[in-house]
Amino acid sequence: MKKLLKIFTLMLLSVSFLQAAAFEKTANGGGITAVISSDRPLTTGNNSLHVSIKDAQYKDAGVTLKVFMPEMPGMPRMEMQSNAKAIGSGIYKADINFSMSGTWQVWILIAPKSGQKIRIKTSLNI
Ligand SMILES: [Cu+2]
């Protein structure tokens, strides 16, 4: 019975989480997992992103989001960096402005209070 209740609670939680996030992408690196999500679909211009890091060691880390698009024909390399703000429970909030549509490379730079820094690489299609 307890187990059933647990499963039911987990299902409820995951449903409400899915409803809250219009966008979600999981990325792995350095032995940890980060989930990038947004309440709204990603778009050119301003986006408010959440980066969730469940690993306890990184719950109060310094997290920076670096996004860049390599040089394209007739267009220089574009890059922006945003220091994410810890909002609790291993979740960090970062505002990112994508200046054009296309594929953006994303580096999640994680600096824990102690221990090695981690870089997680992924990409986002805008
Ligand atoms: Cu471009």
In this structure, is residue 99 part of a structural domain? Answer: yes
In this structure, is residue 32 part of a structural domain? Answer: yes
Question: How close is the Cα of 44 to the center of ligand 1, in Å?
Answer: 12
Question: How close is the Cα of 48 to the center of ligand 1, in Å?
Answer: 21
Q: For each of the chain's 126 residues, which pLDDT tens digit applies?
A: 677 777 776 666 665 555 568 999 999 999 999 999 999 999 999 999 999 998 888 888 999 999 999 998 999 999 999 999 999 989 999 999 999 999 999 999 999 988 889 999 999 999
Domain count, the chain: 1
Question: How close is the Cα of 19 to the center of ligand 1, in Å?
Answer: 31
- Answering whether pTM is above 0.85, one says no
Please give the pLDDT value at position 69: 96
Please give the pLDDT value at position 19: 59
For residues 40 and 52, what is the distance between their CA atoms, to the nearest angstrom? 16
In this structure, is residue 12 part of a structural domain? Answer: no
- Pairing type for strands 118-125 and 91-98 reads unpaired
For position 32, which CATH number holds?
A: 2.60.40.3340
For residues 39 and 123, what is the distance between their CA atoms, to the nearest angstrom? 18
Question: How close is the Cα of 13 to the center of ligand 1, in Å?
Answer: 38
Question: How close is the Cα of 70 to the center of ligand 1, in Å?
Answer: 7
Question: How close is the Cα of 86 to the center of ligand 1, in Å?
Answer: 30
For residues 86 and 70, what is the distance between their CA atoms, to the nearest angstrom? 29
Radius of gyration (Cα) for the chain, nearest Å?
16
In this structure, is residue 11 part of a structural domain? Answer: no
Question: How close is the Cα of 45 to the center of ligand 1, in Å?
Answer: 14
In this structure, is residue 82 part of a structural domain? Answer: yes
Q: Which residues of 101-117 are buried (b: 16+ CB within 10 A; e: fewer)?
A: eeebebbbbbebeeeee
Q: Which domain holds residue 105?
A: 22-125
Please give the pLDDT value at position 14: 62
In this structure, is residue 70 part of a structural domain? Answer: yes
Please give the pLDDT value at position 115: 87
